[in-house]
Amino acid sequence: MARSGRGIDNGQDRERSGVSRRAVLIGSGSAALTGAVTWLVTSRYYEARPHKTVAAVLVEATPTPPPVARATEPPSPALVPAQRPLGLTVYEYQPVLIGNINDLELDVPVQFSYPRAAETAVLVRVGRASSGGIGAAGDVVAFSNICTHMGCPLGTIYSPEHKLLGPCLCHFTTFDLTNRGIVVIGQATEDLPQIQLELEDSTGDIYATGVMGLVYGHRSNLDALGAVE
């Protein structure tokens, strides 16, 4: 009896399926053998050579920077504060004799009229080197004694221990006479104007030659009231 076409096709399919399975098994075996050989060669290589981490490899690959040249000159000495600080205007006038350095007692303020005849300032030997000070010890300074808050007079209210002028009797502001008249405490926001001084060595006479800043309440330190002569 003749076989039907469908039966023949099934036989051919089984034959092709068998060939395909053999090809897959052979391919898988070859891949496994190749992987085993690769693992064996690699393991032998790393056994013969010390293992390095990725970080170590990166460090080896990074070039070493050249050494930085060292300065051979000695360091510069500390800068000495300028007699006229930056940003502060100094208004200079004709020299006016205001006292003698030999007459000043330690921590005893002396009042004098400056820069106007109707206004006063204070001259003090504070006993320590101060900004803008004159004399051998740089400890003689002078300031306007008109408070920069509301113009109240400070007079000769002075703290010998802390070298402060004040407190102002109006609102209790005090000013440091060793450090350009800066505000220490109180309502004022502006430093006390410092009087610029010059010393005549041969006689000890002290001259006021200008004001560092503006005296309270004026656009100009000299106006219709007239300067001290």
Q: What is the pLDDT along the chain (229 residues), one digit of tens a residue?
A: 444 444 445 555 555 555 555 554 455 555 555 555 555 545 554 455 555 554 454 445 555 555 544 444 444 333 223 355 556 778 888 899 999 999 999 999 999 999 888 889 999 999 999 999 999 999 999 999 999 999 999 999 999 999 999 999 999 999 999 999 999 999 999 999 999 999 998 999 999 999 998 888 766 666 544 455 4
Q: Which of 51, 162, 171, 218 is catalytic?
A: 171
- Determine the Cα–Cα distance for residues 85 and 62; give it in Å rounded to an integer: 50
* Tokens found for residue 55: 């970080």
Q: 203 CB contacts (<8 Å, ≥6 apart)?
A: 100
Tell me the CATH number of domain 90-212, given options 3.65.10.10, 2.30.40.10, 2.40.30.10, 2.102.10.10: 2.102.10.10
Q: Where are the domains of the chain?
A: 5-61, 90-212
Q: What angle do CA 143, 149, 150 make, to 5 degrees?
A: 105
* 82-120 b/e (C-beta count within 10 Å ≥ 16 → b): eeeeeeeeebebebbebbebeebeeeebbebebbbeebb
* 142-159 b/e (C-beta count within 10 Å ≥ 16 → b): bbbbbbbbeebbbeebbe
Q: Can you give the pLDDT at residue 2?
A: 45
Contact status, residue 215 vs residue 115, Cβ threshold 8 Å:
yes
Among 79, 191, 181, CA closest to 132? 181
- In the residue annotation, 162 being an active-site residue is answered as no
* Tokens found for residue 188: 């004022």
Flag whether the pTM goes above 0.85. no
Q: Can you give the pLDDT at residue 96?
A: 94
Among 223, 97, 208, 225, CA closest to 144? 208
